[in-house]
Amino acid sequence: MDLKSFAFYILSSLLLVFAILVVSSRHLFRSAIYLMFALLMVAGLYFLISFYFLAAMQLLIYVGGIIVLIIFAILLTQSSGELLQKPEPAQKYISLAVSIAGFFLISFILLQNQSHAIAVNTVNSEMLTIGKYLFEIKSYGYVLPFEMVGVLLLAVLIGSIVISLNTNQNKI
């Protein structure tokens, strides 16, 4: 077992442990911190298969942006030290059964159609190539989704301001 596959198994087991802690912890703030660690592990996996730009974006947007937003929302809406309520037993067992059944179904299908594909040549994910594909207007180009995402981000900027501005204070 070489170093890379060792790192893969360490990172993925830590990722699964942190993900389970995210969905099972009863302290909301701790849950957000576990989510931050899980996203860091995902960034490590991207580094491992040499998608450096994607890993940097994961660190910048998820760990630097979304986690901070979630922590601000927790600080604005929760009173400190308050535990989350436990799920009802029936609901808990039904959703556990559904999730485990779904996981085994997917794993069964994967093991049935196991592909022996190996990464023949490593992906050329340097910045120049990414920029070339991102602004390419012919085949394999992504300039149209890029522009659409720009419009979407503008709409989100305006929309979140409009939603959080409360013009008329009618309490329900």
Partner 1 sequence: MEQIPLGHWLILSSALFFIGAYGFFTRRNLITMLMSLELMLNAVNISFVAYNTYLYSHNLDGMFFSLFIITIAAAETAIAIAIIINVYKSFNSIDINNINKLKF
Do the Cβ atoms of 39 and 63 come closer than 8 Å? yes
Output 137 or 172, the one with its CB closest to partner 1: 172
Q: Which residue's entry shows tokens 């808990």? A: 92
> Mask: binding to partner 1, 15-34, rule CB under 8 A, as x and -?
xx--xx-xxx---x--xx--
140 phi and psi, to 5 degrees?
Answer: 60, 20
| Residues 58-97 contacting partner 1, CB under 8 A | 58, 61-62, 65-66, 69-70, 72-74, 76-78, 84-85, 87, 91-92, 94-96
Q: Which of 50, 74, 49, 46 is nearest to 58 (CA)?
A: 46
Instruction: Please tell me the distance from the alpha carbon of residue 123 to that of residue 10, in angstroms, as a whole number.
Output: 23
| Residues that contact partner 1, how many (by CB under 8 A) | 87
Instruction: Please tell me the distance from the alpha carbon of residue 170 to that of residue 7, in angstroms, as a whole number.
Output: 55
**154: part of which helix (H) or strand (E)?**
helix 143-164
| Residues 149-168 contacting partner 1, CB under 8 A | 149, 152-153, 156, 159-160, 163-164, 166
Q: How far is the CB of 81 from partner 1 (least distance, A)?
A: 15
Q: How far is the CB of 141 from partner 1 (least distance, A)?
A: 10
Q: How far is the CB of 48 from partner 1 (least distance, A)?
A: 8
Find the binder of partner 1 among 80, 81, 117, 168 (CB under 8 A). Answer: 117
14 binds partner 1 (CB under 8 A): no
Estimate the crossing angle of helix 28-48 against helix 3-24, to 10 degrees: 160
